[in-house]
Structure 1
Amino acid sequence: MSSAVEAGVIDPPPGPRPPLGRILELEEVDTDLYIGRSHNDAAQRIYGGQAVAQALVAAGRTVTPERRIHSLHGHFIHPGNPGAPVLYHVERVRDGGSFTTRSVRATQAGATIFLLTASFQRRERGFSHQARDTSAPPPEELPTFEESVDPAYLAGTTWLPHLRANIAVDFRFPEEYPRVANSRGEARPPRQRAWVRTTERLAADPLIQAAGFAYTSDLFLLSSALPPHAVTIDEPGMQLASLDHSVWLHEEFRSDEWHLYEQEGLWTGGGRGLARGHLYDRSGVLVASTMQEGLLRLRK
């Protein structure tokens, strides 16, 4: 591991990045009631992964540390305002012999913006297998995104500076990012993958590391359904928004270290799209899976 990573600095791009460590530090204001903040007033709306991550932290703060998060399921109700705090109301649904269930309602100005159900499990041993294997060049051998694309494309794009300024995730693509091909009017299969990690070193607390991936997991996922249609989310008239989001955590891992995130757009229709993701560590072990349905509507 490089000294830069050990110092907590990971591929710093130009300009500030959202302070993810602070974002995940919720304030407890009452029993089962927490406040989360964006620390990024310049954003137009709260990034979906932030709502997922903060809701997970709120739920986890009401669970004994011996039980670890294994699945979460969320629904995005309304866009959140990054300039205002978010209240996270936790309901203690069940404390069983092996599993603990929590529900979380995130509100702003009295309106619900996000709902989460999270399940925690007492550690135990069981069967072990995975259906897929994967491999890719290690991230250290790959260029940064800015180094991998035509400077003319980079000069004309507006999405990358916005993403860099508002989402605290580093990424490197083993292959050409399909969005670049789509911008040339070329269709691609509904698959994409990237090495991902949080931009800063996070606390070793397993809950914070899991929340780090919950934050990361929303990045790019729904857009994996667009490559066959040769359009990008910048297309005039395109509406793209997450509707629901699920994460299953199979192993404990550090979200501030590189993992390979493979994404596949399974289906589009009726103004919606469905995508799934698989997260692998460097040795090819599947450590997490994701699913997301979202609005994909093109109005000419």
Structure 2
Amino acid sequence: MKNSKELIDLLSLKETEKNIFSGESVTIGSPNVFGGQVIAQALNAAYRTVKEKRFVNSLHAYFLEAGNLSIPIDYHVQEVRNGGSFSTRRVTAKQKDRTIFILAASFHKQEEGFEHQAEMTNNLKQPEELLSWDDMIVQFGAFLPKSLKEFLSIERPIDFKPVRVPNPLEPKNLPAKEEIWFKLKGDVPKMDLQMKHQILTYISDYNVLNAAFNPNAKEYNFGNTQTASLDHSMWFFRDFDFNDWMLFSADSPNAFGARGLSRGNIYTRDGKLIASFAQEGLLRPKK
């Protein structure tokens, strides 16, 4: 995928029967289906069964089996509840007869209320001061480890600019934090809030486990550790647009027993908190 239009096409599922939707997969460099794609497609399926003017306020997902890139994924939506203010959906993702993923999502009509929010980190380097993944390939490609170079070389519809770039040739243990600016590539088409939620969900599964890796980065990395998303949760707050950079800010309170937990917030460039997330992932050292 090269741009946001192709990403929107990937997330826009085909309805095959009432409350059953089918989608294809695109690799991001892994031999298995990208977890962010499955969550976002499941959210697309759930949104297709919810009345207008109700928007996702939270979702909670479990990854049960690795997805096969060559087999379509069928999303079965159960309409659990349609209340006066909230709707609840349960989505089961299957490949043939094998369940690979489940999602529970809540949708809320827009209401007025009081507010507060956590503040974005002050004095961060701005995107214009930082290198993107594409820039790193151009400037340092000849010196990068093969696996990292191959991963960064995959065409993506998103630009990522890490605030802190570790040296893969001199690994060091780092704080359990990860902050990355991101932006959709190319011209961003006009889209409704439902699609913005789906794209943000897709992006939220990138980089999320880095914060859990960082305190042990001198010894462990994605090359010598088996990794997988185990679960993923999100909470959505405010409207936003994709026409400027946004900040993905994560920290990790714990890694133990071959599992690591990351959590954090997503902000607009001017500091508006638009969503929070949490994920536990498998971090199993390879023997």
Q: Residue 176 of structure 2 corresponds to which residue in structure 1?
A: 190
Letter in 1 for 2:178: Q
Q: 2:33, 2:155 → 1: CA distance? A: 9
**Equivalent pairs: percent with the same residue?**
36
Give 1:256 shift: 5.9
| Cα displacement string for residues 197-220 of structure 1 (whole angstroms, at most 9, x for unaligned residues) | 333535512111100000000001
Q: Residue 23 of structure 2 corresponds to which residue in structure 1?
A: 36
Q: Secondary structure at the match of 2:255?
A: strand
In 1, are the aligned partners of 2:159 and 2:183 still within 8 Å (CA)? yes
Alpha carbons of structure 1 residues 183 and 58: separation in structure 2 relative to 1, 3 Å:
farther
Q: Residue 70 of structure 2 corresponds to which residue in structure 1?
A: 83
Letter in 1 for 2:38: A
Q: Residue 221 of structure 2 corresponds to which residue in structure 1?
A: 233
Give 1:292 shift: 0.1
Q: 1:35, 1:269 → 2: CA distance? A: 37
| Cα displacement string for residues 171-229 of structure 1 (whole angstroms, at most 9, x for unaligned residues) | 1122x23xx34651311111110111333535512111100000000001012111111
Alpha carbons of structure 1 residues 148 and 34: separation in structure 2 relative to 1, 3 Å:
closer
Letter in 1 for 2:261: L
Letter in 1 for 2:140: P
Unaligned runs of 5+ in 2: none
Q: 1:41, 1:139 → 2: CA distance? A: 23
In 2, are the aligned partners of 1:47 and 1:167 still within 8 Å (CA)? no
Alpha carbons of structure 1 residues 296 and 167: separation in structure 2 relative to 1, 3 Å:
farther
Alpha carbons of structure 1 residues 271 and 42: separation in structure 2 relative to 1, 3 Å:
closer
Alpha carbons of structure 1 residues 183 and 298: separation in structure 2 relative to 1, 3 Å:
farther
* 1:142 is the counterpart of 2:130: yes
TM-score (norm 1): 0.86
Q: Secondary structure at the match of 2:194?
A: helix
Alpha carbons of structure 1 residues 244 and 41: separation in structure 2 relative to 1, 3 Å:
closer
How many residues get paired?
Answer: 282
* 1:298 is the counterpart of 2:273: no
Give 1:22 shift: 1.4
Q: Residue 4 of structure 1 corresponds to which residue in structure 2?
A: none
TM-score (norm 2): 0.89
Letter in 2 for 1:159: L
Q: 1:217, 1:232 → 2: CA distance? A: 23
Q: Secondary structure at the match of 1:130?
A: coil
| Cα displacement string for residues 219-262 of structure 1 (whole angstroms, at most 9, x for unaligned residues) | 010121111112453343x1111000001111122346421111
In 1, are the aligned partners of 2:79 and 2:88 still within 8 Å (CA)? yes
Q: Secondary structure at the match of 1:287?
A: strand
* 1:92 is the counterpart of 2:92: no
Q: 1:267, 1:214 → 2: CA distance? A: 23
Q: 2:149, 2:276 → 1: CA distance? A: 25
Which stretch shows the higher mean deviation, 58-67 or 143-152? Answer: 143-152
Q: Residue 185 of structure 2 corresponds to which residue in structure 1?
A: 199
Give 1:166 shift: 6.3
Give 1:62 shift: 0.6
Q: Residue 277 of structure 1 corresponds to which residue in structure 2?
A: 264
In 1, are the aligned partners of 2:220 and 2:285 still within 8 Å (CA)? no
* 1:158 is the counterpart of 2:144: no
Which stretch shows the higher mean deviation, 66-75 or 162-171? Answer: 162-171
After superposition, the CA RMSD in angstroms is 2.4
Which stretch shows the higher mean deviation, 54-63 or 250-259? Answer: 250-259
| Cα displacement string for residues 45-86 of structure 1 (whole angstroms, at most 9, x for unaligned residues) | 110000000000000011122101111110001111111110
Which stretch shows the higher mean deviation, 190-199 or 16-25? Answer: 16-25
| Cα displacement string for residues 19-52 of structure 1 (whole angstroms, at most 9, x for unaligned residues) | 3121011101111010011155986211000000
In 2, are the aligned partners of 1:242 and 1:295 still within 8 Å (CA)? yes
